[in-house]
């Protein structure tokens, strides 16, 4: 006999496509945010483009909200989604900070190497 809990859908069938699309958009918008942020920091884009990156992060956070509300998540999962959104916002800052410090600490004096020092 099949346990009734196994056949009970936890997500309404009508909500499946919006949940799928919003979760896919989280990945897309989050990737665009990180890409634009990185391009601004390495000076491929002008500094004003960071505003566009923050706009994509806002879209990511909104899609996380939509996904969570359609899935009727509990309190703990809702807090985890908020932490994930904040983490996605701060991750490029941390990576760029670490990369910049490593670069500064490991700069070599090419002039001294050429002279045989």
**What is the length of the chain?**
117
What is the pLDDT at residue 15?
Answer: 86
Tens of pLDDT, residues 83-111: 999 999 999 999 888 888 888 888 765 55
Tens of pLDDT, residues 28-62: 999 999 999 999 999 999 999 999 999 999 999 99
For residue 55, with 0-12 CB atoms within 10 Å meaning exposed, 13-18 middle and 19 or more buried, which class applies? middle
Per-residue pLDDT band at 115 (split at 50, 70, 90): low
Averaged over 7-17, what is the pLDDT?
Answer: 73
Do the Cβ atoms of 20 and 71 come closer than 8 Å? no
pTM for the whole structure: 0.76
Do the Cβ atoms of 26 and 60 come closer than 8 Å? yes
Measured between alpha carbons, how far is residue 103 from residues 4, 10, 38, 73, 109 in Å?
A: 58, 49, 15, 42, 13
């Amino acid at each position: 006999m099949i346990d009734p809990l196994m056949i009970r859908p936890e997500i309404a069938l009508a909500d499946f496509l919006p949940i799928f699309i919003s979760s896919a958009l989280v990945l897309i918008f989050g990737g665009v945010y990180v890409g634009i942020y990185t391009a601004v920091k390495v000076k491929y884009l002008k500094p004003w483009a960071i505003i566009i990156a923050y706009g994509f992060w806002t879209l990511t956070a909104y899609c996380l909200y939509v996904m969570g509300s359609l899935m009727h998540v509990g309190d703990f999962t809702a807090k985890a989604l908020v932490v994930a959104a904040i983490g996605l916002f701060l991750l490029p800052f941390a990576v760029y900070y670490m990369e910049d410090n490593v670069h500064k600490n490991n700069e070599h004096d090419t002039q001294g190497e050429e002279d045989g020092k």
